């Protein structure tokens, strides 16, 4: 019998692909960084303050807009950009850079609309990130904080840009480069302090540069010249990103084992791979039901000599013994070949005494009586949870009992329960 679920593998975490911002207390970013600097209570107060300021900026946003048309334009672009993350470079060489398009849109709105006018596009960029990014799982509280903090960052970046001499009407001019750099530094520091993850300098630099280019394009070009090509390109990029992430997820998932990969070809029994999975499944079921599960390990005595003399005869011995064992067991018991000269039998819902009786009955019926060589065998018996609560511990206990059988002259049955009573 081969049935049961295949336990999932734990994936291994990847290595960072770029250097993170190494500012004391900012190593992890987000709330972890804030807790490291301010402590838990102060962090909650700071986050509440950010939410209140962000809410105020959003309420006052309609009164801060000068150009309704271009504000609406950059708001649409910001929302769509929130759901897109573009990968640059090679992941295989660990030079991959993830560009946060929402951050680029927020920075562009700060340079083009100023402190007050940037709040709306910034909130929409955060909303796009929350709603459109595939497989993003955050609580409502975390998502609300994200929507509130982005306007605060946009406000501060726009304010620093103006204080550093920047001109909102012509952000692309060379005279505004110092203001742009100062605004970029302010935005990066706030992202490290208030954001939800570590700040990667390479990704941040590319994102801010893209935001500067977007602000220049919106300032120079007519609205339709930005919006008409932007939406199809964004839709294509968004579709590609979703497809790429889905493909990567499918590649990370291990292929389900086939029936052939779980069967020993010489005997037609389950192999060691399936045996381990079956024992784990039965141990888990035993923990839930309170019923014990027992394993019998069977070693054919002096099987190496038989195999050395005639490999074909050795194979027929294995086939004869495996067929005989299966014929005397229940349908839901498992017989598996766990090594070259040995079998394992898993007896669900069977205690030590009943399992010992079963082992003795099998030994009495078949040991030294099966053709073609009339080989004898020894048996070790162990029961979970008494002799091991894990697969490895249970197998080790059964091996111990089997070794005692071999030391006793072979061709006998020994159980851990019996050995414990004798000691």
Q: Quick check: 361 pLDDT over 50?
A: yes
Distant-in-sequence, close-in-space partners of 291: CB < 8 Å, separation ≥ 6: 285, 348, 349
pTM, two decimals, is 0.46
HEC readout, 198-224: CCEHHHHHHHHHHHHHHHHHHHHCCHH
Give the pLDDT mean for 320-329: 88
Alpha-helical (H) ranges within 253-332 are 272-289, 303-309, 311-327
Please give the pLDDT value at position 89: 54
> How far apart, in whole angstroms, are the C-alpha atoms of residue 168 and residue 397?
77
Q: Quick check: 147 pLDDT over 60?
A: yes
Give the pLDDT mean for 240-247: 55
> How far apart, in whole angstroms, are the C-alpha atoms of residue 187 and residue 158?
9
> How far apart, in whole angstroms, are the C-alpha atoms of residue 208 and residue 191?
12
* Annotated domain spans of the chain: 30-252, 260-422
Domain 260-422 in CATH 3.30.70.270? yes
> How far apart, in whole angstroms, are the C-alpha atoms of residue 235 and residue 373?
72
Which of 196-205, 213-222, 224-233, 380-389 holds the top average pLDDT? 380-389
Segment among 103-117, 357-371, 408-422 with least mean pLDDT:
103-117
Phi and psi at 122, nearest 5°, equal -65, -45
**Burial class of 395 by CB neighbour count within 10 A (0 to 12, 13 to 18, 19+):** buried
> How far apart, in whole angstroms, are the C-alpha atoms of residue 381 and residue 345?
10
Q: Which residue has the higher pLDDT, 229 or 196?
A: 196
Give the pLDDT mean for 3-19: 37
Q: Which residue has the higher pLDDT, 200 or 112?
A: 112
**Which of 116, 129, 114 lies closest to 79 in space, CA to CA?**
129
Phi and psi at 86, nearest 5°, equal -100, 135
**Which of 397, 283, 414, 297 lies closest to 349 in space, CA to CA?**
283
Q: Specify the length of the chain in residues.
A: 423
Segment among 70-84, 151-165, 258-272, 345-359 with least mean pLDDT:
70-84
Please give the pLDDT value at position 142: 77
Please give the pLDDT value at position 246: 57
């Amino acid at each position: 019998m081969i049935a049961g679920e295949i336990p999932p593998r734990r994936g291994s975490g990847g290595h960072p692909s770029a250097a993170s911002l190494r500012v004391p207390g900012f190593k992890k970013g987000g709330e972890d960084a804030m807790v490291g600097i301010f402590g838990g209570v102060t962090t909650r107060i700071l986050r509440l303050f950010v939410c209140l300021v962000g809410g105020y900026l959003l309420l006052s946003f309609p009164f801060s807009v000068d150009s309704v048309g271009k504000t609406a334009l950059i708001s649409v672009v910001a929302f769509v950009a929130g759901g897109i993350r573009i990968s640059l470079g090679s992941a295989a060489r660990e030079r991959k850079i993830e560009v946060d398009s929402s951050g680029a849109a927020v920075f562009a709105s700060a340079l083009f609309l100023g402190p007050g006018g940037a709040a709306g596009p910034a909130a929409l960029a955060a909303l796009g990130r929350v709603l459109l990014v595939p497989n993003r799982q955050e609580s409502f509280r975390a998502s609300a904080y994200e929507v509130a903090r982005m306007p605060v960052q946009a406000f501060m970046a726009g304010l620093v840009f103006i204080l550093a001499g920047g001109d909102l009407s012509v952000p692309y001019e060379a005279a505004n480069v110092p203001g742009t750099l100062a605004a970029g530094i302010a935005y990066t520091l706030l992202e490290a302090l208030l954001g939800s993850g570590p700040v990667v300098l390479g990704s941040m630099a590319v994102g801010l540069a893209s935001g500067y280019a977007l602000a220049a394009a919106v300032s120079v070009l007519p609205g339709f010249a930005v919006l008409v090509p932007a939406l199809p390109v964004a839709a294509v990029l968004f579709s590609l990103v979703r497809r790429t992430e889905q493909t990567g997820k499918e590649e990370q998932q291990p292929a389900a084992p086939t029936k052939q990969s779980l069967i020993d070809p010489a005997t037609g029994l389950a192999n060691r791979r399936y045996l381990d999975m079956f024992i784990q499944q039965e141990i888990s079921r035993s923990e839930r039901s309170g019923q014990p599960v027992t394993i019998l390990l069977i070693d054919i005595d002096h099987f190496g000599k038989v195999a050395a003399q005639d490999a074909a005869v050795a194979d027929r011995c294995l086939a004869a013994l495996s067929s005989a064992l299966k014929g005397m067991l229940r349908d839901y018991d498992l017989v598996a070949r766990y090594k070259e000269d040995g079998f394992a039998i898993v007896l669900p819902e069977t205690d030590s005494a009943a399992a010992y009786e079963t082992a003795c009955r099998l030994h009495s019926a078949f040991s030294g009586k099966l053709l073609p060589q009339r080989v004898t065998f020894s048996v070790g018996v162990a029961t979970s949870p008494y002799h091991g609560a894990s697969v490895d511990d249970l197998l080790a206990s059964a091996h111990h009992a089997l070794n005692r059988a071999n030391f006793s002259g072979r061709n006998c049955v020994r159980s851990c329960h019996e050995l414990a009573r004798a000691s």
